[in-house]
Chain A
């Protein structure tokens, strides 16, 4: 078979150099490499892949051509959320996370990647303040993974097997949690009342001596703020279990922190904090606890700690309780497993929080609340629409029920799309009990004009 000589990504693909290197190791051809791979397993033909582009320019033209078939949330007016949210990404976030050093660092030591350790320590420090906890992990995959690990941590800490979750949880998130936890945690679904919040009577009937924890979210999947966090925490604590709370971190400049209503473990997604949506690739999960050994020792993730060095006045960093992890000496007997997850998004979230500062976080929360409330109010003026039927307070997402218009969400969203508007997520498959409902997301990126444009387009589409 023939290789591609003199390729710009492969310096030693130059035939003269290859010949020289082969000679040095006593071989005469590339075919003599791979001598331990039996001939029967070797491919006889070149793989059937498209021929390489002849230049970087042609490659760029081709890929840009493909990307030109997309249209995105910048060119359109977007109201989709549901686990991935459009917020403003400060220029600094992209500037820092596209630095080649951060982009191409990996698993080195503090001696060659101190900047990675320090920036992740700082990210953890700032998220800890945001959620009012003390310990925060180097980020995991996404909120779903963080919630799954939170459930497993609760199982290990309490030695119990049941974790209670609300019925109005994101079904895809629940599927991830269930796949990950099935071998050791049994999830019990608790009913939600007509306010979209946990039904406390049903919860009481489900909490018992097997309960490792109750997991709930603020705001919940359908945008609702759970008002009874303290009662939920008290109930589960009284039974010897843990209070587990998922949060949207961008809400915490204005919303009460989970520990203020009794949370023992907090988790959530960093994507709102300066990370582009990336077609769902911007998700990044975190967990947070108090600084108690029984919690710290159950994290599966790496935890970077600050340490002195042999030089006075110098900061060093290292791995806290490394042998907890599957990278430590106990491998599969460590806590769950660890590997490549989403560290660059952790660094980015740190840049975001440092840029926003306390004032910025407070203001962005306030703007989101106002814009979302305004959008809900204006939409509610349209005939046939039932907006936020739960009647609960919400943060940035709310449910709009179009059943009264005689139109389906799919029809309405198609009509909106024709006007360059991405309508809310269609909930009619996931939650048929809510009829033709959609989950709308409004944030600080939306102007009043944007909202008015949505309202008139919806009016037209539902007429």
Chain B
């Protein structure tokens, strides 16, 4: 018998990876006059004979030209979009460790299938016909209260930033109801930009707390200097986007309360804290969770989503209406709680994104209290394991490590040393990572830390996944020294090569739609 060598597929780094690349034209280029994607129901002959249809439209209100849409057969539409879908490295196909602060965890498929069960519900159906859906809202509210220590939640906000808007709106309503003129929001540099930007919509001004260069956290003195009779609220993420947890948070919230302000918690980074610590004990009056992050609903390329917003008892009256109540027999849409004069009224149409609430409900029920605690502990274990392994790679470092070698849900790294030594930037490495089927996010702008990388494993990846990620980074960092050009010119195995973005800020060149492109480019 001859001995044949097995194929050696032991390498951790996917050096032969290549993303899907279909070279797919823009859909307008696929159009063939006369092709159709679907046949549309027609009014019956009898109906048509008795009414005027478009003939009834007032003068000037009938469309004159045919809509310039592509004409494609059904199969060609499908093929086009499935090809485009293959050119998206979603969390279902990717080791999604790289999008720090986005909590790219696994979205269970059973929840996806269950969520389709509410597709055909109309939001204005009689409450007697939607008792199951209302029960899910009601129970999820109860669970979120237990998880946070708050007293009532609204699921209206359609994303995290709208959750921040909801919190800011409640804060405004509260002070209006008290006749207090407070117009400043205090936040930190490493909280999400929306913690600053959304409250501005409510007329607030923003005061930033600068981080201490050693700890990365604002000092108590900084806070004291910022708080005044103008302070409406302190809105902050903890851990901040750096992954550093402010252990003094309770002293901060107490100080703000002593000076008449409210405290609102951006819990976008809460995944590592479930069952470990809560908003209530830390002294917060309001908080929001991203159900599409922490509670497993998929991100949908950027929504639909939910920024579930909870408040303490005193603030419930200001929440947008309706909430879901239960009278012992029936679930009902509750408008009666709302403060008619000062309440926020409405943040998003109807009751928010119901399928997202349903998925969060199912996810909580699949884990229970012990499971959520396991989520947090494992996510933090994964993150600290990754943190240590990443820091072992020559050239990668992290700020704010003096006396603090732990991070909570995510960590921000810096590769300024590699940049200084080789001229390879974080943007270059980001593109190169995609040649291996991996990805990472740098940081919000402006970069307060040089050449940043922000990673957040969550509880989803296995140890082997994390090891693969680290091995790949090691491989790329080695390339930075040995062959920097290959990194600087990356990607080489992505769907596209380096994009020339020079026209993106030029009104003469930018093209947001196909018709703009055809007009500007001959």
Contacts and interface: CB of A to CB of B under 8 A. Distances in A.
A1 B277 CA distance: 13
B384 A25 contact: yes
Contact of A340 (B62, B303, B350, B434): B303
B15 interface: no
B350 A46 contact: no
Contacts of A179: 169, 320, 344-347
A146 to B, nearest CB: 11
Nearest to A76: B129
B493 to A, nearest CB: 10
A334 B290 CA distance: 23
Nearest to B137: A279
Interface stretch (B3-11, B200-208, B478-486): B200-208
B382 interface: yes
B516 A291 contact: yes
B213 interface: no
Interface in A302-354: 303-311, 314-323, 326-329, 331-332, 334, 336-345, 347, 350-351, 353-354
Nearest to B352: A281
B107 A103 contact: yes
A229 B512 CA distance: 27
Nearest to A441: B122
B385 to A, nearest CB: 5
A12 B462 contact: yes
Pick the most buried of A49, A308, A338: most chain B CB atoms within 10 A of its CB: A49
Interface in A68-117: 68-74, 76, 78, 80, 82-84, 86, 88, 90, 92, 95-96, 98-116
Contacts of A46: 275, 369-370, 373
Contact of B388 (A25, A342, A377): A25
B85 A99 contact: yes
B16 interface: no
A70 B133 contact: yes
Nearest to B54: A254
B434 A106 contact: no
Residue from B162, B197, B445 whose CB has the most chain A CB atoms within 10 Å: B197
Looking at A1, A230, A305, the one whose CB has the most chain B CB atoms below 10 A away is A305
Contact of A17 (B38, B136, B348, B463): B463
Interface string A38-82: 101111001111111100100110111111111111101010101
A331 B355 contact: no
Contacts of B302: 106-107, 116, 138, 340-344
A252 interface: yes
A49 B201 contact: no
B50 A307 contact: no
B417 interface: no
Given A252-B67, A353-B69, A102 B85 contact: yes
Nearest to B109: A100
Interface in A1-48: 1-5, 7, 9-13, 17-18, 20-22, 24-25, 30, 33-38, 40-43, 46-48
A83 B146 contact: no
A430 to B, nearest CB: 12
Interface stretch (A128-136, A186-194, A198-206, A455-463): A128-136
B354 A125 contact: no
A373 B52 contact: yes
B38 A70 contact: no
B114 A254 contact: no
A309 B498 contact: yes
A142 interface: yes
A161 interface: no
A444 to B, nearest CB: 5
Residue in A118, A119, A329 with the greatest tally of chain B CB atoms within 10 Å: A118
A276 B119 CA distance: 5
Contacts of B56: 369, 373, 393
A56 B110 contact: yes
A35 to B, nearest CB: 5
Given A4-B368, A110-B496, A182-B203, A63 B114 contact: yes
A47 B275 contact: yes
A101 B92 contact: yes
B406 A49 contact: no
B377 to A, nearest CB: 5
Contacts of B43: 366-367, 370-371, 374, 448
A211 to B, nearest CB: 21
A363 B367 CA distance: 49
A102 B507 contact: no
B143 to A, nearest CB: 6
User: Nearest 9 A-B pairs (CB), nearest first?
Assistant: A280-B350, A339-B161, A183-B203, A280-B123, A3-B374, A52-B368, A343-B302, A316-B499, A69-B132
5 contacts: A112-B439, A182-B202, A225-B61, A332-B200, A350-B27
Given A172-B349, A332-B193, 19 more contacts: A104-B299, A105-B90, A106-B300, A109-B430, A109-B431, A114-B496, A118-B24, A125-B514, A135-B513, A179-B346, A278-B118, A281-B352, A332-B200, A342-B302, A356-B69, A369-B53, A370-B47, A393-B58, A413-B126
